[in-house]
């Protein structure tokens, strides 16, 4: 099968390697000439997953038209802020039935829309746009560490087709009909992970982080439910699964960004010095822009630290001294059931 992977960052490179190992014909589009040349010459990406020897069959190119030739599946692996631009370049170069699988986790930073909506607007037709999300750090997928993920699409047949294409002995793929929930979980967990990193930077303990993760899940479900998601989705791989790994892993760039914040570094300086995209920063801005009257204390606190330069220690103080309340929010599930 001919599969075109658009984006040669860590996740795009790992996914291209995974798909090529399953005996697919894989073309990989790169923005940087050094990446395409490095893969051609040495079988390695010089910028991302630099120690990973890539399968010989991967064809890397700067020419997106060449990469998309004969594509039977397109995998989008570009940061959220470039999704619309790149989807626009992909549009018109595909057959009408070619599925497009998006790997990025975030929102359209200009419109606040989910990325699958943005891609569908550009290529035409939401029924062939699928999303993949779960506890999947590229570094571990590239090493064939056993992992699981979930694919969601409004057309269940597309989900099942992609499930069979991507599944392997070390990469287990589930399907889900709740596109909204799967996407929101993938985006919102990055916000909570920044807060988790702040806790690490402040030197706080396991009790604190467990509390943050648990309340972060509740906040994720509250926001996602308002957007139309099934709150049960957040108990799955794209919700609690991705939330846990992103809040605790040394591979998490969002957690790492938060940890540096917690140690007193300014957010602008951290971002200027990072080659990797910290999606949680953009997701925080999008969520706060859509929040309205929703109670989102963790996202609001992260926003205050990033955008308003509040002290990280004050974030913890505000969260711990909020008004007391019941833990459970049964109305989220009741509201969903009576829609």
81 Cβ partners below 8 Å, 6+ apart? 106, 109, 277, 282
Q: How confident is the model at residue 92 (pLDDT cuts 50, 70, 90)?
A: confident
The whole-angstrom separation of Cα 10 and Cα 15 is 9
State residue 63's pLDDT score: 97
What are 225-238's pLDDT values in tens digits?
999 999 999 999 99
Residue 188 confidence (pLDDT) above 80 = yes
Q: How confident is the model at residue 328 (pLDDT cuts 50, 70, 90)?
A: confident
Count CA atoms closer than 13 A to 156's CA, side-chain side.
Answer: 3
Q: Which pair of structure tokens corresponds to residue 36?
A: 């395409």
The whole-angstrom separation of Cα 247 and Cα 137 is 12
Which position has the higher pLDDT, 1 or 339?
A: 1
Q: Average of pLDDT values for 283-287?
A: 97
The whole-angstrom separation of Cα 74 and Cα 58 is 14
Domain 2-177 has CATH 3.40.50.720: yes
Neighbours of 226 (CB within 10 A): 17
Mean pLDDT of the chain: 95
DSSP codes joined into one string, 146-210:
-EEEEEEESSHHHHHHHHHHH--SSEEEEEES-HHHHHHHHHHHHHHHHHHHHHHHHT--HHHHH
Integer-rounded Cα Rg, in Å, for the chain is: 20
Q: Average of pLDDT values for 26-43?
A: 96
CA 181 to chain centre: 13
Known binding residues for substrate: 105, 253-254
CATH 1.10.1040.10 domain position(s) in the chain: 186-337
Known binding residues: 7-12, 31, 48, 105, 134, 138, 189, 242, 252-254, 277, 279
Known binding residues for NADPH: 10-11, 31, 48, 105, 138, 253, 277, 279
CATH class of 186-337: mainly alpha
Bridge partners, 100 (sequence order): 74, 129
What are 117-129's pLDDT values in tens digits?
999 999 988 899 9
> Which residues are marked as active site?
189
Q: Average of pLDDT values for 90-114?
A: 94
Known binding residues for NAD(+): 7-12, 138, 253
Q: Which residues of 259-286 are buried (b: 16+ CB within 10 A; e: fewer)?
A: bbbbeeeebeebeeeeeebbbbbbbbbb
CATH 3.40.50.720 domain position(s) in the chain: 2-177
Contacts 24+ apart (CB under 8 A), 161-164: 161/99, 162/73, 162/99, 162/101, 162/130, 162/132
Q: How confident is the model at residue 274 (pLDDT cuts 50, 70, 90)?
A: confident
Percent of the chain with pLDDT over 90: 89
Neighbours of 238 (CB within 10 A): 32
Q: What are phi and psi of 263, to 5 degrees?
A: -85, 0
Q: Average of pLDDT values for 198-227?
A: 97
Q: How confident is the model at residue 311 (pLDDT cuts 50, 70, 90)?
A: very high
State residue 338's pLDDT score: 54
């Amino acid at each position: 099968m001919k599969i075109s992977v658009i984006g040669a960052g860590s996740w795009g490179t790992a996914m291209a390697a995974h798909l090529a190992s399953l005996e697919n014909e894989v073309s990989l589009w790169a923005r940087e000439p050094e990446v395409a040349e490095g893969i051609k010459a040495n079988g390695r990406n010089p910028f991302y997953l630099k120690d990973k020897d890539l399968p010989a069959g991967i064809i890397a190119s700067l020419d997106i038209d060449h990469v998309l030739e004969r594509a039977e599946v397109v995998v989008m692996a570009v940061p959220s802020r470039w999704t619309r631009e790149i989807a626009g370049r992909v549009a018109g170069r595909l057959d009408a039935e070619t599925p497009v699988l998006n790997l990025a986790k975030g929102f359209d930073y200009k419109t606040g829309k989910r990325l699958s909506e943005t891609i569908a607007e550009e290529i035409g037709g939401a029924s062939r746009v699928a999303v993949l999300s779960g506890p999947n750090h590229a570094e571990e997928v590239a090493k064939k560490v056993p992992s699981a993920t979930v694919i969601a699409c409004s057309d269940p047949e597309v989900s099942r087709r992609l499930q069979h294409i991507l599944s392997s002995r070390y990469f287990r793929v589930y399907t889900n009909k709740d596109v909204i929930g799967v996407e929101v979980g993938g985006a919102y967990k990055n916000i909570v992970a920044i807060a988790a990193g702040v806790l690490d930077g402040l030197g706080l303990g396991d009790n604190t982080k467990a509390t943050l993760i648990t309340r972060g899940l509740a906040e994720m479900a509250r926001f996602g439910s308002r957007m139309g998601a099934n709150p049960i989705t957040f108990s799955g791989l794209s919700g609690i699964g991705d939330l846990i790994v992103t809040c605790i892993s040394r591979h998490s760039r969002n957690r790492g960004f938060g940890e540096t914040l917690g140690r007193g570094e300014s957010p602008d300086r951290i971002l200027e010095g990072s080659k990797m995209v910290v999606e949680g920063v953009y997701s925080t801005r999008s969520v706060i822009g859509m929040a309205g009257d929703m109670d989102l204390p963790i996202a609001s606190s992260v926003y205050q630290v990033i955008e308003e330069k509040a002290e990280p220690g004050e974030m913890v103080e505000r969260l711990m001294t909020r008004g007391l309340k019941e833990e459970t929010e049964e109305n989220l599930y009741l509201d969903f059931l009576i829609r």
